[in-house]
Structure 1
């Protein structure tokens, strides 16, 4: 019974989290081409603010933003809101954009 309650709470948390992310995306208009080039610096500064290698993060974030004109919200994750940013890969197949 305790496992069922825990599962219900976790599912509710997941649904609330997904709804909040979608609401944030609608409010800030995320998606490929949603930014103007001059907005990349500010969005990447926020995106890379907690990165261990801030300079490296900024380099790749600015490169990705210039191509995709989109930077996901927050300092980590949420890449599904910017498909171009999310799908651009390195030669080895890893993520290009932070």
Structure 2
């Protein structure tokens, strides 16, 4: 569980990121989860865009995806959301969160 201060720090970092994944009309698939899992391992923080054709609630989708991946939801706003998970592999750890 991350604190509000850590969440704000991650939001600041993710502001400049472009979404690297999109959720379309098929919704959240196993292939999407697998790809996002690999991306989180290498990047630690990922921004996702939900297309209007998906007809999904951003916050609910963010929480569902984060739960499936063992990640932390950082922000869900508009049709984009951000999730964070500390990388399992030492060589990919780039983000140093503020202390609790």
TM-score, L = length of structure 1: 0.25
Structure showing greater Rg: 1
Q: Which structure shows the higher strand fraction?
A: 2
TM-score, L = length of structure 2: 0.24
